[in-house]
Structure 1
Amino acid sequence: MRVSLEVPAMIRPLHATDLPDLLALLHWMDAAPEREVLAPDARTLNELRLECEDPAALVDEGEEGVRAYCALSPFRDGLALEGPLAEHGTDLRGLLSRAAQQAEGAPVYAFCARDNLPVRSALEAAGFAPMHTTDFYAAPLERWRTGSEKSSGKKAQLPPGYTLTRELPLTEYRALYRAAEDTWAARLDWSPEQYDAHFAREDVRLLALRDSEGRPVAFAELELCAPDSRAELTHLAVHPAQRGQGLGRALLALAAAEAAQSPEIRTLRARAHDHMSAARQLYARAGLSHCRAVVTSLREGDEEA
């Protein structure tokens, strides 16, 4: 997608010389959970330089340097907005207006903490409508390492008649994903090569259950983030016809026991959208505590408005 570089004097493309100011904004965001927005993962200048090479990024420059940042990158059927990340009190209208122009009519998704009221207000004023909230849960893995009665790997037993496998053919994976009514549509478009490459990664685990007839009925995906000492339960799906039989609880315990085998991993994290009441109840009953909430918003493309 072609991006115009004709911008007002105070709002302009990101330059390499802006990276120290951007890094300072990222550390400012990290200092308080309510400031969270989708933002670069890098936290060093060299990493930031590499990560900011591709997105179409804009900054709002004040008298003392960069005071606000946002960027657009491909996402699903449109674009994802990084930011807006700004110092307290910065007027974000001009920055978001320019980002909308750069989108050239494509839908734009934004993600920020539920408690980030200034940014949520600015996004709504710019035409973004909230879609859903994703809640995140976490628990220390020590309970699975110490073999507590409720959560140890030995107690993570499957209901009778089910078997555990660590791989699924792409066709079965897609069918189960669709049946579980998840909205993570991008994965359904993976090529066989993308699918194989993802599950060949050393930090990715797949735990799937088959019923007595060999049909896949549930699966859990786990990603081990050793640098951050955490394991992410990125997805847990149970076929609607198999729900209410404890399969989700069994998979959660098995995934936690799997993560607990890596001594550098200290925390298990999971997520659930606001319509996923069963998952929310599962995590709460398993002892995971709610730790953050992120609102997904959408600014529809001009042709769809």
Structure 2
Amino acid sequence: MIRSMQLTDLPDVLALLHWMDAAPEREVFAPGARDVPELQAECEDSTCLVQAGEDGVSAYCAIAPFRDGLVLEGPLSEAGPVGPLLRRALAHAEGLPVYAFCSRENTPVREALEAAGLTPMHSTAFYTASLSDFAEATVPDGYALTNLLPITEYRALYRAAEDTWAGRLDWTPEQYDAHFARDDVKLVALTRDGKPAAFAELEFHPEEGRAEVTYLAVHPAERGQKLGRTLLSLAASEARRYPELRSLRVRAHDHMKAARTLYSHAGLKHCSSIVTYMLEGEEEA
């Protein structure tokens, strides 16, 4: 039976999340919470559905606000088809575009998404290396290191380096300040003659023992100076200040051939790939 998730279902849904965690090929976009109170709070803004029977919950799928539309959480199922649960969740889209993310190796979910009308847009490859694999970083001659950029300079470099990050350009100064005031976020930037030349943005995940480079940008006029490898070393040096962190992970979309080459040459190993799907929204008349 497919029905709305109830408070008594939370332990079963948590068990599904831990089941997903046990194997990279099961990965889908899902709640980040891993205890009952956090999961309850995280699901408050979502429409959460479960497949339930006499033995409890066997599958989970939710739909939540995201960007200009909605995002699917799941579907997650240890056994059995996920198509009916997925279609029930999509019935709540109300004409908005719907995004979904899952491991490239997650064949059952990918087949269900495509059967439901979602189209693969691109894939994102993840690479990782131990922090100990990186040499201690040095700042190149002529450049200066900083952990803070004015929002106008950040936006200018952001816009020049990668036009697909458009969401960051909509941040207000208050959002920008709040983001970089977080304890788990760090900016490592290089300037030359007082102007930003490149930056790497880090997020720390101590519970997983890793630091993640969420964005790496080099101004087009500064390319060819090996600043990308310098930024990776600087990011690793920053992460090594936190003893609970052991690895560095980076990402690159499938069109970012230069970034993929950089990561391979820097010794990072491919560890997983995530496929982004989208169901187009209904255009207003």
For the aligned pair, the TM-score class normalised by the smaller chain equals over 0.9
Structure 1: state its 5+ residue gaps: 1-9, 144-150
Contact kept, 8 Å, 1:13 with 1:59, in 2: the verdict is yes
CA distance in 2, matches of 1:303, 1:119: 27
Which whole-Å deviations, capped at 9, do the CAs of 1:138-162 have from their partners, x for residues lacking one?
111123xxxxxxx322xx2233322
Residue in structure 1 matched with residue 51 of structure 2 by the alignment: 60
Residue in structure 1 matched with residue 162 of structure 2 by the alignment: 181
CA distance in 1, matches of 2:26, 2:228: 33
CA distance in 2, matches of 1:130, 1:30: 23
Which whole-Å deviations, capped at 9, do the CAs of 1:10-49 have from their partners, x for residues lacking one?
2221111111221121122122211110111122223222
Matched, 1:43 2:34: yes
RMSD in angstroms over aligned alpha carbons? 1.5
Count how many residue pairs are aligned between Structure 1 and Structure 2.
284
How far 1:211 sits from its partner (Å)?
Answer: 2.1
Residue in structure 2 matched with residue 232 of structure 1 by the alignment: 212
How far 1:121 sits from its partner (Å)?
Answer: 0.5
Matched, 1:279 2:262: no
How far 1:252 sits from its partner (Å)?
Answer: 0.8
The one-letter code of the counterpart of 1:39 is A
Residue in structure 1 matched with residue 135 of structure 2 by the alignment: 152
CA distance in 1, matches of 2:14, 2:241: 35
Residue in structure 2 matched with residue 76 of structure 1 by the alignment: 67
How far 1:63 sits from its partner (Å)?
Answer: 4.0
Residue in structure 2 matched with residue 198 of structure 1 by the alignment: 179
Q: Secondary structure at the match of 2:261?
A: helix
Matched, 1:127 2:117: yes
Q: TM-score when scaled to structure 2?
A: 0.95
The one-letter code of the counterpart of 1:287 is G
Contact kept, 8 Å, 2:45 with 2:65, in 1: the verdict is no
Residue in structure 1 matched with residue 100 of structure 2 by the alignment: 110
Q: Secondary structure at the match of 2:94?
A: coil
Residue in structure 2 matched with residue 215 of structure 1 by the alignment: 195
The one-letter code of the counterpart of 1:267 is S
Matched, 1:14 2:21: no
Structure 2: state its 5+ residue gaps: none
- Work out which of the residue numbers 20, 25, 30 in structure 2 matches 1:29: 20
Matched, 1:161 2:152: no
Matched, 1:96 2:86: yes
CA distance in 2, matches of 1:20, 1:195: 36
CA distance in 2, matches of 1:292, 1:32: 11
CA distance in 2, matches of 1:158, 1:268: 19
Residue in structure 2 matched with residue 6 of structure 1 by the alignment: none
The one-letter code of the counterpart of 2:14 is L
Residue in structure 2 matched with residue 140 of structure 1 by the alignment: 130
Q: Secondary structure at the match of 2:221?
A: helix
Q: Identity of aligned pairs, percent?
A: 66
CA distance in 1, matches of 2:152, 2:242: 30
How far 1:64 sits from its partner (Å)?
Answer: 2.6
The one-letter code of the counterpart of 1:303 is E
Residue in structure 1 matched with residue 238 of structure 2 by the alignment: 258
How far 1:182 sits from its partner (Å)?
Answer: 4.2
Which whole-Å deviations, capped at 9, do the CAs of 1:229-268 have from their partners, x for residues lacking one?
2111111011122212111111111111111121121111
CA distance in 2, matches of 1:303, 1:99: 20
How far 1:164 sits from its partner (Å)?
Answer: 1.5
How far 1:163 sits from its partner (Å)?
Answer: 1.6
Contact kept, 8 Å, 1:35 with 1:113, in 2: the verdict is yes
CA distance in 2, matches of 1:184, 1:252: 20
Q: TM-score when scaled to structure 1?
A: 0.89
Residue in structure 2 matched with residue 146 of structure 1 by the alignment: none
